[in-house]
Amino acid sequence: MWGHIALFIIKFRRILLLLIGLATLGMAYVARNVEMTYDFAQVVSPEDPDMVYFQQFKKTFGEDGNILVIGMQDSSVYKLKNFRLYDQLANDLVKVPGVSGVLGLPKLIQIEKDTVNNRFVTAPIFRAPPRSQAQLDSLMGVVNSIAFYQGQVIAPRTGATLLAVTMDPSFLNSNKRQAVMSNILDLSEKFEKESGIKLHYAGLPYVRSTMTSKVSAEMKFFAGLMVVVMAIILYVFFRTWSAVVVPLLVVIIVMIWCVASIVLLGFKINLLTGLIPSILVVISVPNCTYLLSRYHYDYRKSGNQILAMTRVIRKIGLITLVNNTTTAIGFFVFTFTDIAILYQFGLVATINIFVAFVISFIMIPAVFTYLPGPTDKQLEHLDSKPLVGIIHFLDFIVLRRRRTIYITAAVLVGLAAIGISRIEAVSFMVDDLPKKSSVNEDLSFFEARFGGVMPLEFVVDTKQPKGLLKLPNLQKIDQFDKFLQAQPELSTPLSMVTFLKAAKQAFYNGNPDFYKLPDNDDKNFILSYLANSQGQGANSTSKLLKTFVDSTQQRARISVKIADIGSHKLDTLVNKRIDPAIKRIFAGTDMSVRRTGTTVIFTKGNEYVIGTLGESLMWAFGLVAVVVLLLFHSFRTIFYALIPNILTLTLTAGVMGYFGIALKPATALIYVIALGIDGDNSIHLLAKFRQEMAMAGKSVSEAITNTLSEAGSSMFYTSIVLFIGFSIYGFSEFGGTKALGVLMGASLLITNFSNLVFLPALLVTFERGGSWKTPKTALIHHYDESYHEEDDDIDQNLQRLSVERTPAKTI
């Protein structure tokens, strides 16, 4: 079958290349509409109880992760000139499309008592820009007297202040986000230049936007650099530019199709699908390298380009397809999960792995049968002294030093175990950014002055309608508020109790001494004022309360901001301090407290992804075992195929521990990629070994020697090209990108040991040759039939094609 496929590709190569070209242009047109997202919510199953509750929370109380904060600590902002510039900045930000509100010094309101109508109303403190320094100082005295704003807008003790910009969620979760962020930053930079005041930025909209743009820009840079380096390495190996340009062209085409498929499937590039282009390099380059190295090998024997290329496809077509299939299995298992980000990752990767196979197996034969045959100089790499020396060394240690190999493997596994014990499954909201980046510096600014900016929410349920009107319940909430405020990792809480305290202060004519919870003496007056304030238009307090109290007045929201302390410290804070405090404070009541918010979902999302990856990896091992069984029809071969994989993954995990790389979604995926690479190499080597063993009179030692000489060279080429290419990522400033480079480089080196040393040693030790007489029910049987180089019908067609073929022009 593969011989006929080869003839079809060569006979219709013009049409096939034209179709690929036109289709790629269409895909490029589609790909231009790709969008990026940094939505943490995709990581958690929509059926997860915490996610269901979070969605209900947002419907009841509104969004919690759509606020960008702009902070400053400069006393000159309280000078008339700069304050007027600050006021202008706030006014300009309100006009930015995608901004739904701005809260800061120039936009602060105060609660006032309307004794005529027995209600509270709200009024701006700065009704107009102050005209004199004295007027500004007087109004700032009013601001400082309102305890409600202490810790929220003005930092206690330091005098730092912030401007909170609320963004429209419909803009925040679309490709319009970057435009909104650019407009906000442009206005802020204008203020900085005119006032000389340094601004700091934080909040999830800013973090997501910055991470998306910076990581994307660096990935593009390193991807381009990797292409250049790989081009140089390919040229050094093959000594011809055609062997450089065509494989890289295949890689570029596959990447275009990949991005277009993301658009066509209705997905966006996220923190996982953004890794797929790099993964496709791992797929495309081996496909091309295997084809080219085998093509050169067969061309040197036959001297006929079409015959050589046809034999290559006949020999390794099925095996390469199976290799790509085993790689795809590792990603396909993710499509069975209900976690959106993993489902999308698995589906896009699976589709494009087969796209990479099809494009490489069409373009390489089609293009290289048009080009002139390789010259003697270009074939010299087959007899390269360094490569031949390495292959001979590998052959020697496999045949003569197997005990040394096993001892080395055991020692490496022991060392890896120590490294694995050091791995931590910890993640930060901004852990991919450099430690000295402006984002981390700005986060430190807010954490030191305001306690943090990452949203953490609590919902107190009194279990009865209007339960929030009962003073004992309010006192419990106030007690919990005070506990949260005492935690150094948290900001000053904002809740219904906070508003009640502010209302009591207003009721007593703004006296700061009365900023406290109403007692039995004044509770009824204050609550009646609040009741009369409902639905009284823009100057009512109802808009302030509705985001912290549900419509039944049964549940109250407590909103705090937390520092980016990492998932481990967050677990400790919650489990060791907050949860015990909740039990202690609300003991003896029917009230319950539940935490939620974007920070909780983010942390749970990491646990979800890592847990799912472990389960998916086990499924992938099982499916790969099934493929090997169908291919070779031998249970022993499953052992040979999987043991090197396990060794590679174990040693890669050890490297992860020694380099201090945390286990998180992006780094956990490395194991799936490593499984694909190692599985490809194992099956490739086992197939070649099986073919050698099938030849009459071949011993295990002879088969190993021939297998390492022929298959080992192409495997070595591929791993070196990929190792050097991916090692470039190790110089990145971003955690995820650097981890990709370090772990991919390590796994590519390790897979050489696993498959070119350890696996052959196992074969020599345990094989006696009998198990390689494959039954006809095995898929590999068809591979063997296609391996015969003499097929009358195909040879006649080859001769006909050779006559019809237009002689290639030298270029």
pLDDT at 793: 52
pLDDT on residue 457:
92
Number of other CB atoms surrounding residue 791 within 10 Å: 16
- Choose the most confident range, by mean pLDDT, from 204-218, 472-486, 724-738: 472-486
Cβ atoms of 701 and 709 within 8 Å: the answer is: no
**Structure confidence by residue, pLDDT tens digits, 81-96:** 999 999 999 999 999 9
Spatial neighbors of 241 by CB under 8 A, at least 6 apart, are 235
User: Tell me, what's the pLDDT at 779?
Assistant: 47
Kindly state whether residue 506 falls inside one of the protein's structural domains. no
How far CA 736 is from CA of 181, 310, 382, 433, 732, in Å, comes to: 24, 42, 37, 9, 9
Pairwise pLDDT comparison (483 vs 219), residue with the higher score = 483
Report the relative pairing of strands 454-461 and 119-124 from DSSP bridges.
unpaired
Residue type for position 1:
M
Let me know if residue 472 belongs to a domain: no
Arithmetic mean of pLDDT over the chain: 82
Strand-pairing partners, residue 99, are 167
Q: What is the pLDDT of residue 810?
A: 38
139: tokens are 């109004």
43 and 605 Cβ atoms separated by less than 8 Å: yes
Dihedral pair phi/psi, residue 51, rounded to 5°: -70, -40
Tens-place pLDDT, residues 670-702: 787 777 777 778 887 888 888 777 765 568 888
Higher per-residue confidence, 454 vs 789? 454
Whose tokens are 């990452």? That residue is 454
- The token pair at 698 is 């071949």
**Residue 375 per-residue DSSP state:** P
Is residue 592 in some structural domain? no
Measured at the CA of 742, the angle between CA 214 and CA 268, to 5 degrees, comes to 40
List the one residue out of 405, 399, 276, 400 whose CA is nearest residue 334: 276
What is the pLDDT, as a whole number, of residue 787?
Answer: 40
Range of the structural domain that residue 739 is part of: 2-40+218-421+602-804
The predicted pLDDT at position 811 comes to: 34
In this structure, what token pair is assigned to residue 635?
Answer: 């249970």
pLDDT at residue 619 tops 50: yes
CA distances, 261 to each of 219, 283, 315, 351, 361 (Å):
19, 17, 31, 8, 20
pLDDT at position 799 is: 53
- The CATH number given to whatever domain includes residue 312 is 1.20.1640.10
Residue 168, in any domain of the structure: no
> Is the pLDDT reported for residue 282 higher than 80?
no
Where are the strands (E) in 73-157, listed by range?
Answer: 99-103, 109-114, 119-124
Reported confidence tier of residue 263, pLDDT bands at 50, 70, 90: very high
Distance CA 580, CA 570 (A): 14
Position 450 in a domain: no
Distance CA 397, CA 712 (A): 14
pLDDT digits (tens, 9 = 90+) for 516-569: 888 887 877 777 777 776 654 444 445 556 778 888 889 999 999 888 887 778
Work out the burial of residue 225: count CB atoms within 10 Å of its CB; fewer than 13 is exposed, 13-18 middle, 19 or more buried. middle
Give the range among 139-153, 238-252, 451-465, 785-799 with minimum mean pLDDT. Answer: 785-799
Identify the pLDDT of residue 147. 85
Tokens of 160: 């730092």
Per-residue pLDDT, averaged over 129-133, amounts to 91
Q: Cα 374–375–376 angle (5° rounding)?
A: 125
**What residue has token string 């022009």?**
809
Q: How far apart are CA 67 and CA 165, in angstroms?
A: 5
Question: Alpha helices of 486-597 — where are they, by DSSP H?
Answer: 496-507, 523-533, 542-545, 566-572, 579-585
Backbone angles phi, psi at 71, to 5 degrees: -115, 160
Q: What percent of the chain has pLDDT over 90?
A: 23
Please state the separation of Cα 547 from the chain's center in Å: 32
The radius of gyration computed from the CA coordinates of the chain, to the nearest angstrom, equals 33
Number of compact structural domains in the chain: 1
**Predicted local distance difference test score (pLDDT) of residue 92:** 94
Q: Report yes or no on 17 lying in a domain.
A: yes
Could you tell me which of 190, 382, 358 has the C-alpha nearest to residue 295?
382
Three-state DSSP at 596 gives strand
More confident residue, 695 or 307: 307
46 contacts 54 by C-beta, under 8 angstroms: no
**pLDDT tens digits, one per residue of 237-254:** 777 888 888 988 998 999
Q: Decide if 657 is inside a domain.
A: yes
The total of other beta-carbon atoms located within 10 Å of residue 385's CB is 8
Q: Which residues face 114 on adjacent strands?
A: 119
Q: Six-digit token pair at 727?
A: 């090692």
Name the nearest CA neighbour of 289 among 232, 256, 253, 248.
248
d(CA 456, CA 562) in angstroms, rounded, equals 6
Please report whether residue 455 resides in a domain.
no
What's residue 535's pLDDT? Answer: 52
